[in-house]
Amino acid sequence: MRSRAAAARAVYEPVAARAALTALLLVAAGGLLSAAPQAELWPRWEAHDADSTARVDHAEWAAFLDDHLVTDHPSGVNLIDYGAVPAADRNRLDAYVEYLEDVPVSSLNRDEQLAYWINLYNAATVKLILDNYPVDSIRDIRPGVFATGPWDMELLEVEGIALTLNDVEHRIIRPIWQDNRIHYVVNCASTGCPNLHPEPITPANRERVFDAAARAYVNHPRGVRFEGSRLVLSSIFEWYVDDFSGDLAGVVDHLVGYVDSQTAERLRAHSGRVQYEYDWSLNEP
């Protein structure tokens, strides 16, 4: 009998092969596969109330994930059957996002704010897919011909300021908290992305979830794998190399803290070719 990991690879590898071809085509077309927005702090969002005990209610997001997130797919990727989400649940998700938009986030303490922004980003991304479904990829949702996706669309309004998904991730979360594990918990509704976590992020579970999400991703073929003498990494480690000490050595140092011991040994010894891949297909069954 094959191991669970082998079974996951058997399902995932055809997807990875398609992703590699897609990557080559996008590079040829000038796609943004070797670049990503730089972390660019907006000082406006550094404000917080260190003494605040206020809590944000993420129960509706928890219920949505419990009802619609598939966590036992043989691919090892958490999926959402977007087409099967009933109108009532879409409306509840819309209401949750609107509730978050009304939260006076600057009055929260720092830990509560981080949970807020991550859950807002993930819920808004799922809402975006549902609002535009059916689509084959989140990149198909574009405000114009030359856009590469929806990340610069003003989808949210928080404390009277219009925000894009890029604003939330690259101008708020990354530069303020400066924790590279954030890349494992911010989800872009794509097969190549780290899994959408099955529970909301909270101050109480953050460390556990961040570490579990990192281990799950880098021990899956879409995160890290060897093909013969070639090391294949998720494009996340190329796009955001600055968050991993700025070079491949920094990426490897990070990875060996989370991969299994055999892979860690191979990573330390590797001096050959490195390839980056990412699968932008929608994270649906």
Beta-bridge partners for 226: 231
pLDDT above 80 (res 117): yes
The span from the CA of 168 to the CA of 113, in Å, is: 12
| pLDDT tens-digit series, residues 182-211 | 999 999 999 999 999 999 999 999 999 999
Residue 269 CB neighbours (<10 A): 8
Distance from chain centroid for Cα 34: 17
Output the six-digit token pair for 224: 């890290």
223-258 residue pLDDT tens: 999 999 999 999 999 999 999 999 999 999 999 999
CA dist., res. 21 & res. 14, Å (int)? 11
The two structure tokens encoding residue 269 = 């010894």
Residue extents of the structural domains in the chain: 4-277
**Which sign, positive or negative, has the C-alpha torsion 112, 39, 24, 273?**
negative
The model's pTM is 0.88
pLDDT above 90 (res 16): no
